[in-house]
């Protein structure tokens, strides 16, 4: 039936009709196939770009984690040293006994007073006052031994004064002094 209609038209109208049909077909292909495909390609391109950015972030996080892991391996052996600077809370008596033995060994009289602890998450900070009396050189030896302990002891103040036990002249002649130390000690919970 369509052929009959085309056969009745003259050549000029046939060419125009054929061109119109081709243009309509091309327009249909453009609007129904090419434009949606281009939009899909653009959406895919955006998705690919977003995924690339996400992968890049994950890569950098992975690199950071790898570097962090390597750093942790180098720091890990030093953590034991850090743990060693704290006095164990359960060893309070042993620590005080150690200080008393040290004073006895260095031949100085010693009096220890513990202050009120400051509580932190992982540790306690306990102020301590140590008063000693004895020969100046023995006191310095005592201080040197105290300083060489593995524990972290933060000296806040140090006061040396002449001993008044047997009078000022007698203590100057014997070289006796009083030593007062205010320190912070750090105790592991």
Whole-number pLDDT of residue 141: 92
Last residue of one domain, picked from the residues 34, 54, 81: 81
Task: Return d(Cα 185, Cα 189) in angstroms, integer.
Answer: 13
In the chain, where does DSSP find H-type helix? 2-8, 11-29, 35-84, 92-105, 136-147, 168-174
pLDDT (tens digit, 9 = 90+) per residue, 69-111? 888 888 877 777 777 778 888 888 888 888 999 999 999 999 9
Is 90 exceeded by the pLDDT of residue 170? no
Query: In sequence order, what are the residues at sequence separation of 6 or more whose Cβ sits closer than 8 angstroms to the Cβ of residue 128?
Result: 112, 113, 114, 115, 182, 183, 184, 185
Q: What is the pLDDT of residue 103?
A: 92
* Beta strand 176-188 pairing with 87-88: parallel
pTM over 0.75, yes/no: no
Residues forming a β-bridge with 118: 125
55 and 135 within one domain: no
Query: Among residues 81, 111, 131, which one ends one of the domains?
Result: 81
User: Which structural domain range is residue 26 located in?
Assistant: 2-81
In this structure, are 136 and 150 located in the same domain?
Answer: yes
Domain stops at, among 26, 49, 81: 81
CATH code where residue 183 lies: 3.30.70.60
**Shared-domain flag, residues 128 and 70:** no
């Amino acid at each position: 039936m369509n052929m009959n209609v085309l056969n009745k038209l003259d050549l000029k109208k046939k060419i125009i009709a054929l061109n119109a049909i081709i243009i309509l077909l091309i327009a249909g292909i453009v609007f129904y196939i090419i434009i949606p495909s281009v939009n899909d390609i653009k959406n895919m391109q955006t998705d690919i770009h977003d995924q690339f950015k996400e992968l890049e972030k994950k890569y950098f996080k992975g690199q950071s984690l790898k570097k962090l892991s390597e750093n942790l391996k180098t720091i890990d052996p030093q953590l034991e040293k850090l743990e060693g600077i704290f006095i164990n809370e359960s060893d309070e008596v042993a620590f005080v006994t150690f200080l008393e033995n040290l004073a006895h060994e260095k031949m100085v009289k010693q009096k220890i007073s513990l202050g009120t602890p400051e509580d932190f998450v992982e540790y306690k900070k306990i102020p301590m006052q140590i008063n000693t009396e004895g020969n100046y050189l023995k006191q310095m030896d005592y201080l040197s031994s105290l300083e060489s302990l593995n524990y972290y002891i933060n000296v806040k103040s140090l006061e040396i004064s002449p001993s008044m036990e047997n009078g000022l002249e007698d203590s100057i002649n014997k070289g006796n002094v009083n030593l007062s130390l205010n320190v912070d000690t750090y105790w592991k919970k």
